[in-house]
Amino acid sequence: LVHSRPDLLRKINDRQVLNLIRQKSPISRTEIARELKIALPTVSRIVDSFLERGWLQSVGAGDSTGGRPPTLVELKADSRGAIGVEIGRGSVRIVYTDLLADVLLNDERPIEEVEGPNGLVRYIQGFIEYHRLKHESIVGIGIAAPGPLDPSEGLLFTQNLRGEWLDKPITKIVSNHLGLPCCVSNDADAAALAESWFGKGESFDSVLFILADTGIGAGLVIQGSIWSGEHHLAGDFAHMIVNLDEDNETCFCGRRGCVNAYASLPAIEQAVVRRGKLDKHLPWYEVIERARHGHSPELEVMNTAARYLATAIVNMVDVVDPGIVILGGRNTLHADNFFFDLVQGSIEGLVPNAKAEIAVTGFGVDAVSVGAASLVLQSIYDHMYVVDSQ
H or E segment to which residue 17 belongs? helix 6-24
Using CB under 5 A as the criterion, what x/- string covers residues 306-345 for binding Zn ion?
----------------------------------------
Query: For Zn ion, which residue of 15, 22, 239, 307 counts as binding (CB under 5 A)?
Result: 239
Other beta carbons within 10 Å of 226: 25
Q: H/E/C letters for each residue in 161-190?
A: CCHHHCCCCHHHHHHHHHCCCEEEEEHHHH
Comparison of 187 and 195: residue with beta carbon closer to Zn ion: 187
Q: Checking DSSP bridges between strand 81-87 and strand 138-145, what pairing results, if any?
A: parallel
Judged by CB under 5 A, the stretch of 49-57, 88-96, 248-256, 299-307 that binds Zn ion is 248-256
Cβ neighbors of 41 (< 8 A, separation 6 or more) are none
Q: Which stretch binds Zn ion (CB under 5 A): 2-10, 87-95, 234-242, 326-334?
A: 234-242
* C-beta closer to Zn ion: residue 252 or 385: 252
Residue 340 · residue 329 · CB < 8 Å: no
- C-alpha 72/C-alpha 284 separation (Å) is 51
Interaction between residue 257 and Zn ion (CB under 5 A) = no
Restricted to residues 258-297, the positions that interact with Zn ion (CB under 5 A) are: 258, 260
Site stretch for Zn ion (CB under 5 A), options 62-70, 172-180, 239-247, 277-285? 239-247
Nearer to Zn ion, 86 or 236 (CB): 236
Q: Comparing C-alpha atoms, which of 390, 306, 375 is closest to residue 84? A: 375
Single out the segment in contact with Zn ion by CB under 5 A; choices: 130-138, 198-206, 249-257, 368-376.
249-257
Read off the amino acid at residue 37.
K
Q: Strand pairing of 216-222 and 357-360?
A: unpaired
Residues in 86-105 that interact with Zn ion by CB under 5 A: none
3-state SS, residue 245? coil
Among the residue ranges 94-102, 121-129, 211-219, 233-241, the one whose residues contact Zn ion (CB under 5 A): 233-241
| Cβ distance to Zn ion smaller for residue 39 or 253 | 253
Q: Could you give the 3-state DSSP secondary structure of residue 246?
A: coil
- Binds Zn ion by CB under 5 A, chosen from 82, 192, 251, 347: 251
- Of 139-147, 252-260, 348-356, 370-378, the window that binds Zn ion (rule: CB under 5 A) is 252-260
Nearest approach in angstroms of CB 313 to Zn ion is: 17
Is 265 strand, coil or helix?
A: helix
| DSSP sequence for 29-90 | HHHHHHHHT--HHHHHHHHHHHHHTTSEEEEEE---SSSSPPEEEEE-TTSSEEEEEEE-SS
Residue 215 DSSP one-character state: S
For Zn ion, the binding residues in 210-229 under the rule CB under 5 A are none
With contacts defined by CB under 5 A, name the span among 25-33, 228-236, 254-262, 295-303 that binds Zn ion.
254-262
Q: Rounded to the nearest whole angstrom, what is the least distance from the CB of residue 119 to Zn ion in the complex?
A: 31
Is 233 among the residues that bind Zn ion (CB under 5 A)?
Answer: no
Least Å distance, CB 232 to Zn ion, is 19
Between 24 and 255, whose beta carbon lies closer to Zn ion? 255
Q: Which is nearer to Zn ion, 194 or 251 (CB)?
A: 251
CA angle 355, 101, 382 (to 5 degrees): 75
Q: How far is the CB of 315 from Zn ion (least distance, A)?
A: 15
- How far apart, in whole angstroms, are the C-alpha atoms of residue 125 and residue 104? 17
**Which is closer to Zn ion, CB of 232 or CB of 239?**
239
Binding site for Zn ion (CB under 5 A): 239, 251, 253, 255, 258, 260
